[in-house]
Amino acid sequence: MTRRLAKHSKAPFLKRISLREDIAGNSDNAAFPFSVPFVRRRTLDIAFDRQVTIIVGENGTGKSTLLEGIASQCGFNLAGGSVDNRFGNERQAALAPFLRLSWLPKVSRGFFMRAESFFNFASYIDEIARESPPPRAYAAYGGGSLHARSHGEAFLALFENRFGADSLYILDEPEAALSPSRQFVFLRVLKELESKNCQVIMATHSPMLMAYPRADLLRLEEEGGIGRIGFRETSHYLLMREFMKDPDGFVAGMLRD
């Protein structure tokens, strides 16, 4: 079913993302999405050089807003899924009209995965299975309902069975359901996607996922800046390192009045 790209088309397909110039006359800085730090400061201009891009940043810095905007421009279902999955609230993402995406070539194969609406996605696949013979509907999801597996098992079934070649994957906190050991399994999924000429753009809070060796790590700052960062410079890594050195002392320090 997957159409192969021309042989010379190598990931990353999405080369650059920036804000459209006409956003200037359109903005009330207090209102979403103009209130998001990188929109307010007009700093968004990312060149994608590698197949795996990892976006990090504190809560509320705009990671999901950005991923949703990209997914929306790709035509992926915002509740999670591909261009073929039509369910849920089919709105356009708030940021989408203000984004400029540069492709070479444009791809529409891929998937938007967000942890928070995965339950609804699993229900949607069950609904399709009720309408068409179950083996076919479930084929891309490991042969059975995603609801019949634990949260983490369902995530991995999706990653390992549904994700094909020459595609763009936009993943928002894929670690959400995964135990630490399964997060390391997920690193193998990333490697597999790279070998299948895919592009992955992913937001995470997991230091384990940030450690993926060939990723470009970008940090969204609370003041609106966007910059490349090394894994060992992230607050996630530094905090976990302090915790691991002396868990009891670290926790006692956090709980001290």
Ligand X SMILES: Nc1ncnc2c1ncn2[C@@H]1O[C@H](COP(=O)(O)OP(=O)(O)OP(=O)(O)O)[C@@H](O)[C@H]1O
Sites of contact with Mg ion (CB under 5 A): 63-64
Map the footprint of ligand X across residues 160-179, applying CB under 6 A. none
3-state secondary structure of 27: coil
One residue of 47, 60, 239, 249 binding ligand X per CB under 6 A: 60
Q: Omega before 12 cis (within 30°)?
A: yes
Q: Residue 103 belongs to what H/E stretch?
A: strand 99-103
| Minimum CB–partner distance for residue 31 and Mg ion (Å) | 19
| Minimum CB–partner distance for residue 74 and Mg ion (Å) | 18
Strand 215-220 to strand 199-203: parallel, antiparallel, or no bridges (unpaired)?
unpaired
Q: Which does 57 bind (CB under 5 to 8 A by kind): ligand X, Mg ion, none?
A: ligand X
| Minimum CB–partner distance for residue 247 and ligand X (Å) | 24
Q: Residues touching ligand X: how many (CB under 6 A)?
A: 10
Complex with ligand X: residue 5 or 176, whichever CB lies closer: 176
One residue of 57, 80, 174, 207 binding ligand X per CB under 6 A: 57
| Minimum CB–partner distance for residue 61 and ligand X (Å) | 4
Stretch that binds ligand X, among 19-27, 59-67, 150-158, 162-170 (CB under 6 A): 59-67
Residue type, 216: D
Give the residue at shortest CB distance from Mg ion.
64
Give CA–CA dist 143/147, Å, rounded: 12
Complex with ligand X: residue 64 or 199, whichever CB lies closer: 64
| Minimum CB–partner distance for residue 113 and Mg ion (Å) | 12
Tell me the sheet residues that pair with 56. 219
Q: Is 61 in the site for ligand X (CB under 6 A)?
A: yes
| Minimum CB–partner distance for residue 32 and ligand X (Å) | 3
Give CA–CA dist 98/182, Å, rounded: 37
> Sign (positive/negative) of CA torsion 144, 145, 146, 148?
negative
Complex with Mg ion: residue 11 or 229, whichever CB lies closer: 229
Tell me the sheet residues that pair with 219. 56, 227
CB-count exposure of residue 159 (10 Å: 0-12, 13-18, 19+): buried
> How far is the CA of 188 from the CAs of 73, 88, 176, 194, in angstroms?
28, 31, 17, 10
Give CA–CA dist 39/37, Å, rounded: 5
Give CA–CA dist 110/33, Å, rounded: 25
Q: Which does 43 bind (CB under 5 to 8 A by kind): ligand X, Mg ion, none?
A: none
Q: Is 206 in the site for ligand X (CB under 6 A)?
A: no
Nearest-CA neighbor of 173 among 216, 125, 117? 117
One residue of 43, 51, 53, 65 binding ligand X per CB under 6 A: 65
One residue of 12, 62, 80, 207 binding ligand X per CB under 6 A: 62
Residues that bind ligand X (CB under 6 A): 32, 36, 57, 59-65
